[in-house]
Amino acid sequence: MKTFYFEKLDVWQKARVFVKNIYELTAEFPTEEKYGVISQLRRASLSITANIAEGMSRNTEKDKARFINLAFSSAIEVINFLILTQDLGFLTEEKYFKLREQIEEITNKLNSLYSKFDK
């Protein structure tokens, strides 16, 4: 089986683990949030990995950079929802800090990757 370039990227691998953590966490949220914050958090975290993958398949550096920027924006959206879910009492402080640390590492890696492209 072929391994695509995006699969080798540390940032994509970390984002993949992060998505799994988000799915496990949101499975514990109140069921009435199924179409609310659960859906939003899951979609935003999935968007990080999807945009990295799609961006790395693009031919121009400008296009690659655009998708990495979209991945970064999705990561910021995730941070927003993590803050709100902690405010709502769905997330313990310990889980919040663990996820916050992970997503901050991902955003730092996305920024680093973005800076490598000629825009």
Note whether residue 66 is domain-resident.
Answer: yes
Note whether residue 7 is domain-resident.
Answer: no
pLDDT by position in tens, the chain (length 119): 999 999 999 999 999 999 999 999 999 999 999 999 999 999 999 999 999 999 999 999 999 999 999 999 999 999 999 999 999 999 999 999 999 999 999 999 999 999 999 87
Question: What is the model's pTM?
Answer: 0.96
In sequence order, what are the residues at sequence separation of 6 or more whose Cβ sits closer than 8 angstroms to the Cβ of residue 119?
Answer: 61, 62, 65
Q: What is the CATH number of the domain that holds 52?
A: 1.20.1440.60
Rg (CA), the chain: 15
From 88, 93, 100, select the one nearest 36 (Cα to Cα).
88
Domain count, the chain: 1
User: Which domain covers residue 35, as residue numbers?
Assistant: 17-115
Q: What is the pLDDT of residue 119?
A: 72
Q: What is the pLDDT of residue 52?
A: 98
Q: What is the pLDDT of residue 103?
A: 98
Q: What is the pLDDT of residue 118?
A: 86
